[in-house]
A = this chain, B = another copy of it.
Amino acid sequence: MTESDKSTRDRLIETAMRLFHEQGYAATGVSTILREAGVKSGSLYYFFPTKEALLLAVLDRYMELLEPVILQPAFEATPDPVGRIFAVLEGYRQALIFTQCTMGCPIGNLALELSDTYPEVREKLSGLFNAWCKAIKGCLDAAGDRLPSHLNRETLSRFILTVMEGGMMQSRAQRSVEPYEASIAHLRDYFDQLIAAGAAKSSVASDVSP
């Protein structure tokens, strides 16, 4: 009984996490969560006052999983800070391939579905984005003088998240990894140019080297 010795609360969170990712929040009925988790409705409402509270718990779980599931595996792949960033992005690419481009980023999905409906949910989604960007910014900081010194690492970390989320959105809509791969390739190109400019120790945009 690998599954049922987990607590009822955990089974509810994990089942809801999976179903929200597969189908979205509104499209997932409470009855479906109950059936797939093997839990009766009374038990759900013993732990969570509403369906929204269950969603908030799911978002907390995502925050807990960010480090061990997303960051650590990628950071183990290489000690190079820039390489680690692209290892994270490669992880999402693998997830796209594994799900045949059907699922995308769970946080991004929920962000566009309901960042207007519940203020608390929006804040947690915002917090998840911030935590992701902070980790990436840590890599940018660690890259030191390989990047131009005047470069805004804060906005660049936002830009990287932008490319990841936008790329996954398109790949899901097109049912093909190509848009994601193309986006990452252009981000890689941008990085190569930033690093080249950093090595030249000169301005990014205005440098027309002979």
A161 near B170: Cβ-Cβ < 8 Å: yes
Task: Knowing A26-B27, A27-B117, A113-B113, say if A169 contacts B165 (CB, 8 Å).
Answer: yes
CB distance from A22 to the nearest CB of B (A): 7
Contact for A112 among B108, B158, B186, B205, CB less than 8 A:
B108
* Docked pose: A55 CA to B207 CA in angstroms: 44
B-facing mask of A56-94, CB < 8 A → 1, else 0? Answer: 000000000000000000000000000000000000000
Residues of the B chain whose Cβ atoms lie less than 8 Å from the Cβ of A187? 159
B173 near A111: Cβ-Cβ < 8 Å: yes
* Docked pose: A165 CA to B165 CA in angstroms: 8
CB distance from A90 to the nearest CB of B (A): 14
A11 within 8 Å of B by Cβ?
Answer: no
Contact for A196 among B125, B175, B188, B208, CB less than 8 A:
B208
Residues of the B chain whose Cβ atoms lie less than 8 Å from the Cβ of A183? 155, 158-159, 162
Task: Knowing A113-B113, A162-B163, A205-B193, say if A156 contacts B210 (CB, 8 Å).
Answer: no
Closest 9 CB pairs of A and B: A166-B166, A162-B166, A155-B182, A26-B26, A192-B205, A159-B186, A165-B166, A162-B183, A112-B112
List 28 A-B residue pairs with CB atoms under 8 Å apart, sorted by A's residue number.
A27-B117, A108-B169, A109-B113, A113-B113, A116-B172, A122-B175, A126-B173, A154-B182, A155-B183, A158-B170, A158-B178, A158-B182, A162-B166, A162-B167, A163-B166, A166-B166, A166-B169, A185-B208, A185-B210, A186-B190, A188-B208, A189-B204, A190-B190, A190-B193, A193-B204, A196-B205, A196-B206, A200-B208
Interface residues of A (CB under 8 A from B): 22-24, 26-27, 102-104, 108-109, 111-117, 122, 125-126, 129, 152, 154-156, 158-159, 161-167, 169-170, 172-175, 178-179, 181-183, 185-190, 192-193, 196-197, 199-200, 204-210
